[in-house]
Chain A
Amino acid sequence: MASAFVFRRAETAEELLFDRSLRTRWRLGLDRALGWLLPLLFLVAIVPILDLVYYIASHALPTLTWTVLTSTNPYDPDALGVPILSTAAIMALAIAVAVGLGLFGGVATAEFLPERSAGWVRTTANMLVGTPSVVLGYFGYFLLVITFGWGLSFLAGAVTLAFFMTPYIFRVVDLAYSSIPRPIREAAYGSGARPYQYVLRVAAPIAFPQILNGVFLALAIGVGETAPIVLTTTQSVIFPPTVFSPVTFLTGTIWENFSQPAGSPALALAFQAALLLMIVVVGLNILVRVISARYQKRLEGLYQ
């Protein structure tokens, strides 16, 4: 009797093992095409950026001196000392408020709220992230400057900026806590951890790098914002003596000085502020990259 396993015809290994279907060929072709296209697109994107950097640097550097960066003399209008210190102070208060609110909201949403309410909170946060900052600026203006009577002030500016940054922090905290591997969470509760003990002892060390990332990103986004600040504070030549004093933010300096005549020291100042901001933002982004890379390594064993 003939064997049950009869091949229809002799097939070569090549016929059996090579995939020559049209779809596969198409995909391979596309792969190859993209291999050429992507570097090209990268060039298209990088050229204007480099051009921008060059444009800013060429206007900023010729008159950039140490004194420009550090002088806080109120009678020296062409220095950045006061805006730099003021920006640092505003960012410090804003990030402190944003981190406080974001941590609280994010942990509550990820760990304690029932699914439905958590969904609502997340939707709200996503909407806030998508809201143009000028709208938040007006909100801060009407609520803090007018209704609360804080005036155009350091406090109004910093709190408005905090409103702006909170949803970003909230989202990373929520995500970091929600993505703690379920077995880890169960092991913690299964060992008799109280909810706060789980949140602080088990989840926090795992979530921390991701949250730190979010904080730096929020700083990078916040420091480059203009609308929430120019609508809620007003220029000052000195570091604000009280929280209700007006204050100068670096983006505010750019905003105020950009329409100055070409070649004037005031316009150069705008470019110098822009250069400085660019360096800070790029620096923060690099930091985020570094932390992410480390974080990936640390948790490799955990996600298996």
Chain B
Amino acid sequence: MSGDANGHDVVVSVQHLTVRAPQRTILDDVSLDFAASSLTAVVGPSGCGKTTFVRSLNRMVELTPGLEVDGAVVYLGQDIYDPRVNPVMVRRRIGMVFQRPTVFPTSIFENAAFGLRLIGEEISEIEREVEEALLRAGLWEEVKDDLDRPALSLSGGQQQRLCIARALATQPRVLLLDEPTSALDPAATQRVEATMQRLKEDYVLVLVTHNVAQAARVSDRIAVLHAGHLIEVGPTAEVLERPRNPLTAEFITGRFS
């Protein structure tokens, strides 16, 4: 099944993506387009392949030995799995935020500046872009007076927004979020969700979540994975109110009631 992006500018186009582990197929022939200024929620039961899916969008899958990727992920017209493409450059354009906050044991500033240091930006430039990224991540007001504090001293929710800032600092167009609130309390979850809603104006957001309610709150489109297959994709309200696939209905109601 294929998802179209309703005529908007396609930024990322996933074409016949198949990911195999030695013993089994984790993703089977998934095709899906992502348009600019959109937030797509990827939902599905645990183990259906959501993490593997987003990790193949910036070649993070390759960090797991033994996984084999087939098909194409086309970013602005270029297949990122082309042998001439350097995965490092892909990950600088397509940022990622993980399930648990993964700050480095350095200062708040250095965490946000991490990607900029990697590309050898000048310090004045770094300071400007760090502020910009922290603003966008909705963390600036809370940390602007003590950027030199250890990042590990922040709360979980603040750490997660710092991770978002770190991913935004190198100015990617796409941000992948793999269950970014699953380790957070409701208040922190709410702040991260607010951040995501602001960001979707300017970025392509792909949000993996096992939480249908969260998808309902923040996404404009839902893609449902089931056992490695993309079984349904469409506008959020439509999928939630009139799911076409019975498995989708089962998943949604199982979560809601």
Interface residues of A (CB under 8 A from B): 114-115, 183-194, 197, 201-202, 205-206, 298-299, 301-302
B 4-43 to A, binary, CB cutoff 8 A, 1 in contact else 0: 0000000000000000000000000000000000000000
Judge whether B88 and A184 touch: CB under 8 Å.
Answer: no
Cβ-neighbour of B118 out of A114, A115, A193 (below 8 A): A193
Question: Is B170 within 8 A of A192, CB to CB?
Answer: yes
Asked if B117 is an interface residue, CB under 8 A from chain A, the answer is yes
Using A187-B104, A194-B118 as known contacts, say yes or no to A301 and B166 having CB atoms under 8 A apart. no
Once the chains bind, are B117 and A192 in contact (CB under 8 Å)? no
Query: Does B105 count as interface, using CB distance less than 8 angstroms?
Result: yes
- Residue on A nearest B117 in the bound complex, by CB: A201
Contact at B102–A184, with CB atoms within 8 Å?
Answer: yes
User: Are A194 and B65 in contact (CB-based, < 8 A)?
Assistant: no
Cβ of B60 under 8 Å from chain A: yes
Q: How far is the CA of A111 from the CA of B166 in the complex (A)?
A: 24
Asked if B98 contacts A192 (CB within 8 A), the reply is no
Please state if B170 and A191 are interface contacts (CB–CB under 8 Å).
yes
With the chains together, A272 CA to B123 CA distance in Å? 56
Residue positions of B touching A, CB distance < 8 A? 58, 60, 63, 65, 88-89, 91-92, 95-96, 98, 100, 102-106, 114-115, 117-119, 150, 152-153, 163, 166-167, 170
Excluding A185-B63, A186-B102, A190-B167, 19 further A-B contacts by CB distance (< 8 Å) are A114-B65, A187-B102, A187-B104, A188-B114, A190-B58, A190-B91, A191-B91, A191-B92, A191-B114, A191-B170, A192-B91, A192-B92, A192-B118, A192-B170, A194-B118, A205-B106, A301-B105, A301-B152, A301-B153
**Contact partner of A191 among B100, B115, B150, CB < 8 A?**
B115
Q: Smallest CB–CB gap between B177 and chain A, Å?
A: 11
A39–B250 alpha-carbon span in the complex (Å): 63
**Given the contacts A190-B98, A191-B167, A192-B92, A184 and B115 also touching, CB distance less than 8 Å:** no
| A186→B98 contact, CB < 8 A | yes
Known contacts A183-B100, A302-B152; is-contact A191 B105 (Cβ 8 Å): no
Residue pairs across A and B with Cβ atoms less than 8 A apart, 16 shown, are A183-B98, A183-B100, A184-B104, A186-B60, A186-B63, A186-B102, A188-B114, A190-B58, A190-B60, A191-B92, A191-B166, A192-B118, A192-B119, A193-B114, A194-B88, A301-B153
**B93 closest partner in A (C-beta):** A192
Q: Closest B residue to A190 by CB, please name it.
A: B96
Q: Cβ of B119: which chain A residues have Cβ within 8 Å of it?
A: 192
Q: How far is the CA of A197 from the CA of B117 in the complex (A)?
A: 10
A184 to B119 alpha-carbon distance, docked (Å): 19
Residues of A within 8 A of B115 (CB): 191-192
Q: Interface centre among B63, B103, B105, B119, by most A CB within 10 Å?
A: B105
Considering only CB atoms, which chain A residue lies closest to B60 in the complex?
A: A190
Nearest CB in chain B to that of A183: its residue: B102
